[in-house]
Amino acid sequence: MGHRLADTSSPARLAAPDEGIGRDELALATRNHGLPLEALRYDVTPPGLHYVLTHYDIPYVPDDTAWRLSVTGRVQRPLHLDLADLKGFPQVTTRVTLECAGNGRALLTPRPVSQPWLVEAVGTAEWTGVPLRLLLAAAGVDADAVDVVFTGADHGVERGVEQDYQRSLPIDVATGTEPEVLVAHAMNGAPLPPQHGRPLRLIVPGWYGMAHVKWLREVAVTDAPFTGFQQSVAYRLRQESGEEGEPVTRIVPRALLVPPGFPDFMSRARVVRPGTVPLEGRAWSGRAPVTRVDVSTDAGRTWREAELEPDDGRPWAWRRWHFGWTAAEGEYELSARATDAEGHTQPLQQPWNRGGFANNLVQRVPVLCLAKEG
């Protein structure tokens, strides 16, 4: 009777009714972090405020110059590149809004037990690197290529499976230009912070965070579909655990508002005083450009259109919106709702699946408007 991985790694499960957040979920919440919602004010999220989700440990990389990226598999000229080699390729900088596929999970009923996000697993950065299509062209992709598999240096066990973090993209996505996938070495003009993949990560504009493999060390072209854990077991939309499920891919639309006024420390509930309360926020979609944001100040009973600012030629970044609200004494629930050019919008009832993925239920922000100071 040896000690096995199954002794420490348990299957996915749903929380029981009224089960509070457990110690294991809390351990994830204190490591990983969201965007404090007041930081939606910045066009580009300052370092340390962008959301972070790490499956295992953040690899310790004391010397970037020793890092190598391999481009292997079904290619004619395998590549082994260091950072200097990568910087010799044409460089692109793209502003991208990244969101965790599990954003909103902790608000679901029943609650899938995993990283317990509320609504704040998002951030926007300027990512600089080499278009992946140029690396694949340099390697010469074979005609029978199907998938491209990306391997990170992060190692752990998940639901009993020991693994390096791995995800794949179909060859047409990997070599496409809408979006143009990057192998990035810089975030907001500086080398990647350790928690964002130093020294190299993938950036797949418009896709949820699981696709943006961090601590990237291998790009392998395959002639068969990749069926690794993060592709076939995790990150699937399932109602029942036995289903194959649809894969999680691009980001569905979401709008968030900067909670107005000031907070109560413990409840994070908001307090304003009567008068003009400017509301602002951001909206994004990885499916199509956001074309409309509506705001409700009465718990979703009525909606009015917000003013959406131009995208300034940055289709993969969130757009700012604002809305004038005149508050009178009372209690309110504020919401914002994004719609994109393909007609996708945010549901008012929870979209539910066992993983708690791609859940874009509208945000609800309770606000107390005090009596006038007298």
Segment 304-343, which members bind a second copy (CB under 8 A)? Answer: 329-331
Question: Read out DSSP for 123-145?
Answer: EEEEEEEEEHHHHHHHH-B-TT-
- What x/- string results for residues 193 through 232 when contact with a second copy is judged by CB under 8 A? xxxx------------------------------------
Q: How far is the CB of 369 from a second copy (least distance, A)?
A: 7
Residue with tokens 């694949």: 136
For position 291 contacting a second copy by CB under 8 A, the verdict is no
For position 29 contacting a second copy by CB under 8 A, the verdict is yes
Q: Taking contact as CB under 8 A, which single stretch among the options 131-139, 201-209, 263-271, 351-359 is the one that binds a second copy?
A: 263-271
Interface pick for a second copy out of 144, 264, 298, 342 (rule CB under 8 A): 264
How many C-beta atoms lie closer than 10 Å to residue 195's C-beta? 17
For position 299 contacting a second copy by CB under 8 A, the verdict is no
Cα dist from 193 to 64, 94, 196, whole Å? 12, 17, 5
Q: How far is the CB of 194 from a second copy (least distance, A)?
A: 5
For position 120 contacting a second copy by CB under 8 A, the verdict is yes
Segment 37-56, which members bind a second copy (CB under 8 A)? Answer: 38-39, 41, 46-50, 52, 54-56
Interface pick for a second copy out of 140, 156, 176, 228 (rule CB under 8 A): 156
For position 233 contacting a second copy by CB under 8 A, the verdict is no
- Tell me the longest C-alpha to C-alpha distance in the chain: 78
For position 185 contacting a second copy by CB under 8 A, the verdict is no
Distance CA 206, CA 310 (A): 18
Interface pick for a second copy out of 64, 82, 85, 158 (rule CB under 8 A): 158
Contacts of 106 (CB under 8 A, 6+ apart): 21, 25, 116, 117, 118
How many C-beta atoms lie closer than 10 Å to residue 81's C-beta? 22
Secondary structure letter of residue 52 according to DSSP = B
Distance CA 315, CA 212 (A): 18
Contacts of 22 (CB under 8 A, 6+ apart): 15, 113
Q: Which two tokens stand for residue 78?
A: 């395998």
Residue with tokens 């131009």: 310
Segment 85-114, which members bind a second copy (CB under 8 A)? Answer: 106, 113-114
For position 66 contacting a second copy by CB under 8 A, the verdict is no
Q: How far is the CB of 272 from a second copy (least distance, A)?
A: 11
For position 17 contacting a second copy by CB under 8 A, the verdict is no
Interface pick for a second copy out of 17, 30, 63, 310 (rule CB under 8 A): 30
Distance CA 257, CA 6 (A): 42
Nearer to a second copy, 115 or 345 (CB): 115
